[in-house]
Amino acid sequence: MRRRVGGVSQIYRLQEAERQYNKVGNTFAERNMEQMKAQLQVFKSNLVEFSRKYRKDISKDPVLRQRFQIMCSTIGVDPLALLMSKELKTANKGFWAEFLGVGDFYYELGIQIIDVCLSTRGRNGGLVELGELKCQLIKMRSEGSAQEISEDDITRSIKILKPLGNGFEIIQIGDHKMVRSVPRELNKDQTDILTLAQKRGYVTKDLITAELGWENERIKDAIDTLLIDGLCWVDEQANPPEYWVPSFFKGVDD
């Protein structure tokens, strides 16, 4: 009986010790959390002060602008996500959108992206290479803005355009990043043909057969769709006919 009582007492003592350990651990965790929150708040305050002080530099310098976006992301603040949010006008989100100073720049760039994509859609079918889009934007902006832009700026602006539902999206085709401005998906056969056309700027049915091993019916279905959508043109004077992809005209090897 004594051993049994002693055993029960030992269990009680162990349980009490465990409760004390848990209590201390919880207290320690709460203190750490409070310290982290305080440090994060200081970081956010410094970030706001930095954006106020260097807003003009951030707007002019694409490298600094990208680094500033990275600083924001390290503390879980995505200025573009705030701009796209339906709750933008709430106190907290409006505060960040205002003081991070990115709204006007990316909205202006987004409108210019739409302008370039629409004006070139008749030529490229709504598919333009990212580098070519950048060149067109620089030409447009040189008339009224001294701000430099980067491909990263364009990528971020296109994220703002996505909720418009008009198909604005960056897609990868072979080695090229392409900006699609029409609400349609490219199937695998179409993508394979566009990838094959990158080096020369065009494909032929014989080339597709040699490189991809497709039968004539499959080639015809894919090519006809690309022609209807305006993503490629046919040169019937060539022998055999050549199917040119206007989106890659700038990227054709000399």
Q: 55-101 pLDDT, tens per residue?
A: 667 667 777 777 777 766 666 666 555 555 544 444 444 444 454 55
- ω before 62 within 30° of 0 (cis)? no
What is the per-residue pLDDT across 149-188, written as a single tens digit (0 to 9) for each? 889 889 888 887 776 666 788 999 988 899 988 877 889 9
For the record, the structure tokens of 195 come out as: 């990838």
CA angle 155, 159, 163 (to 5 degrees): 155
What mean pLDDT comes out for the span 123-136?
A: 90
pLDDT at 156: 83
Residue 145's H or E segment, with its range, is: none
Task: Return the closest-CA partner of residue 182 out of 119, 117, 133.
Answer: 117
What is the per-residue pLDDT across 98-108, written as a single tens digit (0 to 9) for each? 545 556 677 78
Q: Which residues of 72-109 are buried (b: 16+ CB within 10 A; e: fewer)?
A: beeeebbbbebbeeeeeeeeebeebbebbbbbebbeeb
